Structure 1
Amino acid sequence: MNEHIQLMIDWIEDNLTNKFSLDELAHYMGYSPYYCSFKFHQVTGISIRRYVLLRRLYLSTKDLANNKRIIDIAFDYDYSSQEAYSRAFKSVFGINPREYQLRQLPVQSFFKLTINNKEEWYRMNVSRKIEVEKLQNGNKELFDQDVLNILNGQVMYEEFNNEKLMGDSDYVPFNEAMCVNTTTEQVFDKEFIKTRALGHRVSVEDYIQKVIEPLDNLFHKEYKYIVLWFGEDMFCQMNLLTILAYLEQSQYDGRVFLNSFREDEFKVSQTELTLGNYFSVYKEVLINHKRPSIELLPVMFQAIDIYLDMLKENNAVVKYISQNKDLPTSELVNRLLSLFPTIGYGDSQYIDLINKNR
């Protein structure tokens, strides 16, 4: 069956700039439109029309970055008008195409899906050192002693710290998963620690040792620059939002840079951030579970949409688990990790979901 799904994907990719027709895809495959739609969604966790929408819009960001005329891009991807394209673009990225063209802010990547023989999506690994060297050529001051690098997770921290990838600057990890369990308004205070420990089913002492103590430099040293290393996926972006909320609460007055990246490819997009609204967004999203009322980076806007969708009882991941609950847990976890890269959950989050839905 996976070979058939790959044939569908290949046909879709060859026709992304043409008017999409499910009937034509079905005719090419030799199956009914319903069967093609059902099997595609069952295997990939996404509908065909959603896949086409996301692929077209993501590819269009490259055309925008090359200053191609927006109306030409709209027609290239079979939109009836520039306005229709702009509405679709903003619904996914949170800003309109012209704003993106002017500012070129980071967005979540959506690449062609490829299924290999082990039923996992193919991922490509690239040396982090090469990408960091490119950053050093552009912003040498971020490699000094007045810089704190906050890295998403212990593994990334150990690699950066051991290799001194950012020169003489300091490094700390944020070992959390803010996209699950409840939180509190004041970040990193006693109530926050107690609440998060309870959610993770660990003792307060264990939570402090794993999450709070590694952040000691953030709490007790002053830095001219803070560089935040967080991936594009929802998991990383909710962690990022929490750190930004804390920086505002602590009245940090230095400069803040976000190095946003894809976990598999580690292609970094660097953006300087302006503090001022992230605490209000943190409260809206992670506490009140509402969409934010202000404009955000497209990559965070997309992540918030995914986060709020994951709070629904019958979200895409739960549906996939329900359809494949007879699989061994280890195989099902591997499939979920591969099929839903924009979510960014780890093994433990997926195991919890599997256990709840079996």
Structure 2
Amino acid sequence: MNNIMQKMIDWIEDHLVEEFSLKELGSHMGYSPYYCSFKFHQMTGITIKRYMSLRKIYLASIDLKESDQKMIDVAHKYGFSSQEAFTRAFKITFGTSPAVYRRDPQPLQTVVKLNVTATKGGFSMDVSEKMKIVALQNKAQQQFDRDILNVLNGQLMYEEFSHEKLMEHSDYVPLNEAMCSNKTTKPIFSTEFIKVRAKGHRVSTEEYETKVINALKPLFKNQYTCIILWFGNDMFCQINMLTLLAYLEEQGFKGKVYFHMVKEIERTFEVEEIEIELGDFQDVYDQVMIHKQWPTKNVMPVMYQGIKLYLEYQMQENELTSYIRNHLDMPQNELIRQLFKLFPQYGIGDLQYIEMIEKVKNNR
């Protein structure tokens, strides 16, 4: 069935910018339109219409960034009836207008073509082989010499960076957290924060301090002129990064902050850099992560997307729980592999998925 579904996805991708009906898709696949629609949603957790909409708006963002095409031409190319309709869809997806994005391109969450037949999951990252960071390394050295702290999302990336000295002699620390799960509080990394987070993870405060706090000790010294945050564009990474940015504001950090967004494109890793201005992240952290509310402050598009997914993730019923409920007959390891494959935008790990699967089972 995966091969049939991939054939369907390939056909949709080949006709993405065309107007086609489910009847035409069904005719190509040899199935009824209803069956094609039903199986696509069942196996991918997303409707054909939604998949096409996300893919087209993402491809349109690339055209805006990399070409001189008129905005109305980009809109028509991807099937929007008017520039106004294109602007509405773009803003709903990315939290900013296409005109603003074209003037000042900001990192976005990638929406790649679905691949349901891939056997290799995205569970590891060989940074030294996959990322081209020489230019970023030279730039950082010229600007800040050794007064740089690289904060890396997780132990795996930390070990790769520190072992390979990918940013030369600057310092490295990992954020070994999953801030998208469980309750949180403030001040960030305070004694109360440690108690709340340890309880949520069901570990002792001593275990939490060993894994999370001790690893971050250089960050607490506040001795750097530049902090570089190496995080992905998924929800997991963006919520972790929001926590760090709010912490830097709490501490009154006065140096430069850069976000090096690590994104996977066709099995290779690329890095996109943006300088971040501190100012509103404490408010956003408070509204989003403590009160589970939509922020009143503007954030960059990739964080906007991460927050949107985070607030949906907090709901008892969401696209992840729906997919899990429809596939509980699948062996757990296979179900987790499918979740990794189909929902990379969340970026959550196997432990979070196992907990989610158990909750869905218990709520049947």
1:80, CA displacement in angstroms?
A: 0.4
User: Partners of 1:128 and 1:118 in 2: how far apart?
Assistant: 21
CA distance in 2, matches of 1:7, 1:69: 33
Structure 2 matches for 1:302-317, cutoff 5 A? 302-317=305-320
Deviates more, 1:134-143 or 1:233-242: 134-143
TM-aligned CA distance change 1:84 to 1:129, over 3 Å: closer
Moved more, 282-291 or 140-149: 140-149
Shifted more, 77-86 versus 309-318: the winner is: 309-318
Cross-structure match for 1:163? 164
The residue that corresponds to 2:304 in the other structure is 301
Q: Count how many residue pairs are aligned between Structure 1 and Structure 2.
A: 358
Partner secondary structure for residue 111 of structure 1:
coil
Of 138-147 and 66-75, the range deviating more from structure 2 = 138-147
Q: For 1:338-357, what aligned pairs fall within 5 Å after superposition?
A: 338-357=341-360
Q: Which residue of 1 aligns with 2:322?
A: 319
Q: Which residue number in structure 2 is paired with residue 287 of structure 1?
A: 290
Counterpart secondary structure, 1:182: coil
- SS at 1:131's partner residue? coil
Name the counterpart of 1:144: 145
Aligned pair in 2 of structure 1 residues 353, 218: CA closer, same or farther (>3 Å)? same
Is 1:173 aligned to residue 209 of structure 2?
no
Matches of 1:146 and 1:308, distance apart in 2: 36
In the other structure, the counterpart of 1:7 is 7
Contact 1:183 1:286 in 2 (8 A): yes
TM-score by length of 2: 0.94
* Cα displacement string for residues 213-271 of structure 1 (whole angstroms, at most 9, x for unaligned residues): 11100102410000000111100100000000000000001010000112553211100
Match of 1:77 in 2: 78
1:196 aligns with 2:200: no
Task: Specify the SS of the correspondent of 2:161.
Answer: helix
8 Å contact kept, 1:235–1:344: yes
Counterpart amino acid of residue 337 in structure 1: F
Q: In 1, distance between residues paired with 2:302 and 2:268? A: 16
Deviations 1:175-231 (A, max 9, x none): 000000000031010110000000000000000010001110010241000000011
CA-CA distance at 1:81 after TM superposition:
0.1
Q: How far is the alpha carbon of 1:4 from its aligned partner?
A: 1.9
Tell me the CA shift for residue 299 of structure 1. 0.6
Letter in 2 for 1:248: E
Shift of 1:338: 1.4
Between 8-17 and 142-151, the greater mean CA deviation after superposition: 142-151
In structure 2, C-alpha distance between the alignment counterparts of 1:308 and 1:214, rounded to whole Å: 28
Partner residue, 1:225: 226
- 1:317-352 per-position Cα deviation (integer Å, ceiling 9, x unaligned): 111111111222222111111111000011110011
Alignment of 1:1-358 (within 5 A): 1-65=1-65, 66-116=67-117, 118=119, 127-128=128-129, 130-141=131-142, 144-262=145-263, 265-358=268-361
Q: Distance in 1 between matches of 2:253 and 2:123?
A: 41
* Offset of residue 22 of structure 1: 2.3
Question: 8 Å contact 1:115–1:122 — kept in the other structure?
Answer: no
| AA at the equivalent of 2:351 | S
> d(CA) in 2 for partners of 1:25 and 1:284?
44
Task: Say if 1:142 and 1:225, in contact at 8 Å, map to a contact too.
Answer: no
User: What is the CA deviation profile of residues 146-183 of structure 1, one whole-angstrom value per residue up to 9, with x for unaligned ones?
Assistant: 00000001111111111111011111110000000000
Alpha-carbon offset, residue 143 of structure 1: 6.7
- In structure 2, what residue type is equivalent to 1:252? F
Q: 1:117 to 1:162 in 2, by over 3 A?
A: closer
Measure how far apart 1:316 and its partner are: 1.0
Q: Aligned to 1:267, what secondary structure does the other structure show?
A: strand
Residues 1:240 and 1:49: Cα distance change in structure 2 (over 3 Å)? same
* 8 A Cα contact 2:222 2:253, kept in partner: no
Q: How far 1:122 sits from its partner (Å)?
A: 12
Give the direction of change, closer, same or farther, for the CA distance of 1:43–1:142 in structure 2 (3 Å limit): farther
Of 118-127 and 31-40, more deviation after overlay is shown by: 118-127
Give 1:136 deviation, angstroms: 2.5
Question: Any unmatched runs of 5+ in structure 2?
Answer: none
Flag the 1:309–1:295 CA change in 2: closer, same or farther, 3 A.
same
Distance in 2 (alpha carbons) for counterparts of 1:149 and 1:121: 23
